[in-house]
Amino acid sequence: MTYNTLDKGKTYLITGATGFIGYYLSRKLLEQGCRVIGIDNMNEYYDVNLKYSRLELLRPYKRFTFIKGDISDKAMMMNAFGEYKPHVVVNLAAQAGVRYSIENPDVYMQSNIIGFFNILEACRHHPVEHLLYASSSSVYGANQKVPFEESDPVDQPVSLYAATKKSNELMAHTYSHLYKIPATGLRFFTVYGPLGRPDMAYFGFTQKYFAGEPIKIFNNGDFEKDLYRDFTYIDDIVEGIERLLSHPPVEQEKAPHRVFNIGNNSPEKLMTFIETLEKCLSLSLDREVLFEKVYEPIKPGDVPATYASTELLEQIVEFKPKTSIEEGLQKFTDWYCEYYRLN
């Protein structure tokens, strides 16, 4: 199958539009002249100034409309679908983060379960050509078989966050089956890049360095059995989503629903990632950077490894992520130093 270009005449409704991935996807579609309706509740899970910064970068596009709203507000969602009649919907709004779900479970149920249910109901009553929604590599739980393939069993999540994402896949399958909504789930693997999320390790480590504090590494200090992560650069994630937009799974008869991994297919040891971050920051600042490190036991809910098979993605849209951590982290540290005026 070939990669179709985007239809500029279509309206794309993107939830979580001022979030990390939502911002980049919205910008990419707007740059190509598409109409984008962005919804976000601008919550304060992490520094909300980053969300306002992203919003300011989207506002100049004439075909961008922003709605400050919560996807768990059913009436608001129904009105938005009724008013703007989106052709394609991308649900990226969610409470993210594995560790935060241990302390704050309620918000995961509200945003990830009730919010996603409202999206499905809105698609049922205002039919769309394609619904895409964020799932997560965390659905693979502590699966041992690598690389992780979409057909692997994913019935043993180890965090509530992962359980909500797996639930989203089940709910989407049901709605797709009952109401023939073409739906695509996106299992993202540890996404990083400029204007990223401060709750993620690479961003937090950089903040700690500038605060003069040690970084905590949750790998028991055991470098032989280090954690492995399939770190995926934001541009690769956006390209994967963009290509899938024009590939609704219409050929599936019983339920037009499919799930894809979007990951780098090249896991790195956590320590290698940290050393590369130090090197990139050294280059951005033109001085040697070494983090002060404290090693701690692995945290509940964390998984030992993530590793994406990208065969299905390659087969359907002829694309696999390609950015190395050297290239991607350099872009992050250059952005970080400029944004926070550190050099």
User: 87 near 126, Cβ under 8 Å?
Assistant: no
The answer to whether 134 contacts ligand NAD (rule: CB under 6 A) is yes
- Point out which span in 59-67, 187-195, 206-214, 301-309 binds ligand NAD (CB under 6 A): 187-195
- Tokens in use for 334? 């250059």
Minimal distance, residue 67 CB to ligand NAD, in Å: 9
Query: How many helices and strands, by DSSP H and E, does the chain display?
Result: 12, 13
CB of 20 or CB of 209, closer to ligand NAD? 20
Smallest gap from residue 342 Cβ to ligand NAD (A): 22
The three-class DSSP label of residue 323 is coil
Q: Please report how close the Cβ of residue 343 comes to ligand NAD at its closest, in angstroms.
A: 25
Interacting span for ligand NAD (CB under 6 A) from 13-21, 216-224, 240-248, 281-289? 13-21
Q: Are 21 and 234 in contact (CB under 8 A)?
A: yes
Which residue of 12, 100, 188, 209 would you call a contact of ligand NAD, by CB under 6 A?
A: 188
7 vs 199, beta carbon nearer ligand NAD: 199
Active site residues: 161
Assess 101 for contact with ligand NAD (CB under 6 A).
no
> Which residues have a Cβ under 8 Å from the Cβ of 237 and sit 6 or more positions away?
21, 24, 188, 191, 262, 321
* Chain residue whose CB lies nearest ligand NAD: 19
Backbone angles phi, psi at 182, to 5 degrees: -65, 120
**263 lies in the site for ligand NAD, by CB under 6 A:** no
Between 43 and 324, name the residue whose CB sits nearer to ligand NAD.
Answer: 43
Q: Which residues of 19-47 are buried (b: 16+ CB within 10 A; e: fewer)?
A: bbbbbbbbbbbbeeebbbbbbbbeeebbe
